[in-house]
Structure 1
Amino acid sequence: MTSLESKAKAFLQLHVPGDPGVFPTVWDAWSANIAVSAGFSALTLGSHPVADSVGRSDKEGMTFAELLTRVRQITDVVDVPVSVDIESGYGLEPAQLIEGLLEAGAIGLNIEDTVHSEGGRLRGAQEHADLVHGLRQFADAAGVHVVINARTDLFKRKDGDDSDRVDRAIERLKLAAAAGADSLFPVGQHADADMRRLTSELPLPISTVAQPGVSEKAVLADQGVARITFGRFLQWALTEEANRLLNRWK
């Protein structure tokens, strides 16, 4: 079995601006096996689809322990790099988060700046960067270059004025980059000009969420995106198809 450090290095090399790595977002061993059998060389776990799969709500309605159970079930059956959305960290310390992820066989993480355990407040830009720095320190101490995808929810939350939101996101994500992130995730749907600003002005590969049946990889590649995941949209698309099939039998 490939070592965690080798998987982490291989995963990071797939983040190529203009030739983005596509990492299907899965939620259990079944969906992970489907994605690997389809030829994908790395996977992501999304908090929303995982929570749905265990009967919990998104926004840290499940515990970190419940999430790690799912991670282990997936890493037990596929031997590809797996990155995990750990939401805002479940109120845990960076050492606990890194230790849990590595023990479960994951080599990457998303960390967002909405603090669900504290009423959904937005972390300060430096506060979020400090968390990224802590995660990097403990990952380095463990000997695995855990791939940190630093997320901001500024666009999703629509905090502040529209006029300078891109500027504020860039400032926030630059701090995360300096703190040790490997890729940056300005989550949300962006106008073409805004996405091009983000990919050209930020110093690290940019991650985005695509809708499997709607988005076009070539368009995102032309915008300079380096990492594509599906968030909740793959699970939703499969749900629609399941409903279509089941409705035939009512």
Structure 2
Amino acid sequence: MATSSAAVAESLGWADGEAAPAQVVLDALARIAAAVEVPVTADMERGYGLRPAELVERLAEAGAVGCNLEDSLPGDGRLLDVEEQFDFLSAVRAAADAAGTGLVLNARIDTWLRPSDTTSEERLAQTVARARRYREAGADCVYPILLADRGTIRRLVAEADVPVNIIAQGPAADLRSLADLGVARISFGAQLFRAQQARLAEELDRLAADLG
């Protein structure tokens, strides 16, 4: 099972984007890991300011077996230089290997996250280059968030040389089709949390209407 950074933060009264203190997020992660019988991986955004060794240690203490780490900055969303992210992921992998935690490292790629004046072909090339570099850093899989075009997904899976994680939304919402494209891992982001919020809002509206 994987956590959603937005769902965890908002359920605790904070905004997404590392607004919540790291300890608040890790405490919630520990409660989740203790409550379920399946392995739990954590969306840790950019690492909440923790140094790689501390991040690995705190994740292990919380009971997590893996994490997502993204390559854009919280707040302004600026895409980081690929080599800066390579160094960060390499340090996290080295710390995990030294600690013997077997941490599953899912490297999020944010090339599709915001509007860009690059062509789809150029963006795909950037994503493939980042995927390959992050694999060299020790990532177990890569996560190009918001990539929803099936043709592009197929090409990325073929060219990235690393397992690919896709979010199930828009044209890429069909789970069987994603599996047929060779996608190794499927995420739902905050969609289940949003659905729960919408259902609660419906119930509150109904109760308000009953009260007149």
Q: Is 1:62 matched up with 2:20?
A: yes
User: Which runs of 4 or more aligned residues in structure 1 lie more than 3 Å from their structure 2 counterparts after TM superposition?
Assistant: none
Name the counterpart of 1:90. Answer: 48
Distance 1:162 1:249 in 2: 49
Would you say the 8 A contact 2:148–2:169 is kept in 1?
no
Measure how far apart 1:178 and its partner are.
0.7
Measure how far apart 1:243 and its partner are.
1.7
**3-state SS of 1:154 partner:** coil
Unaligned runs of 5+ in 1: 1-42
Tell me the TM-score normalised to structure 2 length: 0.92
Name the counterpart of 1:183. Answer: 141
Measure how far apart 1:160 and its partner are.
4.6
Q: Is 1:111 matched up with 2:69?
A: yes
Q: Is 1:45 matched up with 2:3?
A: yes
Tell me the TM-score normalised to structure 1 length: 0.78
Measure how far apart 1:211 and its partner are.
4.3
Output one character per residue of 1:94-122: Cα deviation in whole Å (capped at 9) or x when no partner.
011101100110010000011227x4322
1:132-151 equivalent positions in 2, closer than 5 A? 132-151=89-108
Would you say the 8 A contact 1:169–1:186 is kept in 2?
yes
Q: Is 1:100 matched up with 2:58?
A: yes
Q: Could you say if the C-alpha distance between residues 171 and 105 of structure 1 is closer, same or farther in structure 2, counting changes exceeding 3 Å? A: same
1:100-249 equivalent positions in 2, closer than 5 A? 100-116=58-74, 119-163=76-120, 164-211=122-169, 215-249=173-207
Structure 2 letter corresponding to 1:96: E
Higher relative contact order (CA 8 A, sep 6+): 1
Output one character per residue of 1:65-85: Cα deviation in whole Å (capped at 9) or x when no partner.
111010111122223110001
Give the percent of matched residue pairs that are identical in Structure 1 and Structure 2.
38
Distance 2:150 2:187 in 1: 18
Structure 2 letter corresponding to 1:77: A
Question: Which region of structure 1 is more displaced relative to structure 2, 105-114 or 184-193?
Answer: 184-193
Would you say the 8 A contact 1:207–1:227 is kept in 2?
yes
Would you say the 8 A contact 1:211–1:234 is kept in 2?
no
Distance 2:157 2:111 in 1: 16
Distance 1:181 1:210 in 2: 21
Distance 1:191 1:229 in 2: 15
Measure how far apart 1:204 and its partner are.
1.3
Measure how far apart 1:230 and its partner are.
1.0
Name the counterpart of 1:38. Answer: none
